[in-house]
């Protein structure tokens, strides 16, 4: 009987070791997946930041030099683009931390959740600011070339296209945030 009990203890110890190694492998796999998702968000912010910076000289060339629109319109666009860059830098600062994935999962989840919330709240500023600027642009352009039904249709189509592209990028980013949070919760539930 002692022999059987001793054999059962050995089997339990072997099983426990296998489960611990499985948990470690699972932990590493999920942390790597989380790091990939966060990296995708960071790359998205970087690309959008580069585009926003590039819009400053490009906007001057297109709006002021080619179309003869006001410098004030271009300067307002510059302020908006710099605000976009500043927001992306501020919101992604915790996500760029090299030690993010080595830390406590509760801290990682808190940082990612907060960044997701700030990204979602950005729409409350971004959409009205972009629409106000676009309205100003439409006003100046219509004063310059005259107002017609064709111009109005073009402006409305352009505004809708810009809104759809912006919302598409926003919702994809939100999905990456959501996936990251779900992966962290999955890892928390395995422990």
CA 159-164-168 angle, 5° bins: 150
Residue 86 lies in a domain: yes
The Cβ-side half-sphere exposure at 144, using a 13 Å CA radius, reads 14
Residue 33 lies in a domain: no
Quote the pTM value.
Answer: 0.77
Separation between Cα atoms, residue 156 and residue 51, nearest integer Å: 23
Number of domains forming the structure of the chain: 1
Residue 70 lies in a domain: yes
pLDDT at 6 over 70: yes
Q: What is the pLDDT of residue 13?
A: 73
Query: Are 185 and 32 in contact, with CB atoms under 8 Å apart?
Result: no
Where does the pLDDT of residue 188 fall: very low under 50, low under 70, confident under 90, or very high at 90 and above? confident
Residue 37 lies in a domain: no
Residue 93 lies in a domain: yes
CB proximity list for 67: less than 8 A, separation 6 or greater: 141, 144
Residue 45 lies in a domain: no
Residue 5 lies in a domain: no
Dihedral over Cα of 167, 172, 175, 177: its sign: negative
For the stretch 145-174, pLDDT in tens is 776 677 778 778 888 998 899 899 999 999
Q: Which domain holds residue 142?
A: 54-190
Residue 112 lies in a domain: yes
């Amino acid at each position: 009987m002692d022999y059987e009990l001793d054999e059962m203890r050995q089997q339990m110890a072997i099983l426990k070791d296998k489960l611990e190694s499985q948990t470690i492998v699972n932990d590493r796999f999920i942390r790597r997946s989380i790091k990939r998702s966060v990296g995708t968000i960071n790359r998205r912010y970087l690309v959008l930041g580069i585009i926003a910076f590039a819009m400053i000289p490009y906007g001057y060339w297109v709006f002021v030099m080619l179309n003869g629109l006001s410098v004030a319109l271009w300067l307002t666009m510059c302020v908006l683009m710099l605000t976009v860059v500043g927001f992306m830098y501020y919101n992604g600062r915790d996500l760029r931390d090299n030690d993010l994935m080595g830390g406590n999962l509760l801290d990682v989840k808190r940082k990612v959740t907060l960044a997701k919330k700030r990204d979602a709240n950005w729409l409350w500023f971004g959409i009205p600011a972009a629409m106000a600027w676009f309205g100003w642009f439409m006003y100046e352009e219509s004063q310059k070339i005259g107002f017609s039904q064709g111009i109005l249709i073009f402006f409305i189509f352009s505004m809708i296209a810009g809104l759809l592209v912006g919302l598409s990028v926003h919702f994809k980013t939100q999905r990456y945030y959501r996936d990251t949070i779900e992966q962290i919760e999955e890892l928390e539930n395995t422990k």
